[in-house]
Amino acid sequence: MDNKPPVERAVWYHILSSEKWKKEFTKNVKRKCRDYLLNDDQEMVSVIDLLHQKYVEANNPVKKQIDNRLDSILGDTKESIIQNDIVRKVCEVERLSAIPEEKLVTWANVLGALLAHDLKMAQIRRFMGAVLKVEVDVRLEGPEGFCKDQVVYLKVLLAYAAGRNKAVRPLLAVIDPMIDRIEGWKDFQQLVRFVRAVVAYHKFYGGNE
């Protein structure tokens, strides 16, 4: 999957994580490819089909080996996407408002797909609620009086959530450097739009309620 664009890799991660070894595995994979607007990647589907057949025909020790290997590949893929395709690029800019909207939407798409299998919608909505509360408070006082201190505490909320549930950690890994790059109201508005987009894509990919 390394040669595919980040969105495709993230969607494949989600599909394989959620459909792994289920009945009608290949059929479900093809359906989800259509549902999630993936290109008709016959080569990838063929590889997955062969892997599934090998798994079905294997004895229990070999099944465990195949399962562990796939989990390792998926874990490495997820970590690579988060760190190399999002976090590293966030860290290349000084302020969040310097990131083009199109790129933010792409990152939200990627993150929504990666989070959809493990992280419940309620947990993302809880964080979005905290972000929106800051937005409302700032609007009431006047955006011209925006202070970064109003946003920094959001890092603490996410760190606490990640400590209780490791499925939150990819969200923390991305949001933390984004908050570091908030200096003014315009930067914060970028964060609000990004979080809203992550929630939307998490829902699109069938995120757990």
Answer whether 29's CB lies under 8 Å from 17's CB: no
- Amino acid identity, residue 33? C
Q: What is the phi/psi pair of residue 2, to 5°?
A: -60, -25
Q: Kindly state the tokens that stand for 188.
A: 């914060």
For residue 96, what is the DSSP state?
A: G
> What is the distance between the alpha carbons of residues 192 and 71, in angstroms, rounded to a whole number?
33
Residue 56 CA to chain centroid, in angstroms?
Answer: 30
Confidence of residue 37 (pLDDT cuts 50, 70, 90): low
> What is the distance between the alpha carbons of residues 35 and 72, in angstroms, rounded to a whole number?
26
> What is the distance between the alpha carbons of residues 66 and 164, in angstroms, rounded to a whole number?
30
Q: Kindly state the tokens that stand for 144.
A: 């011209």
Predicted TM-score (pTM) of this structure? 0.90
> Which tens digit of pLDDT belongs to each residue from 155-169?
999 999 999 999 999
Average of pLDDT values for 107-111?
96
Average of pLDDT values for 135-154?
85
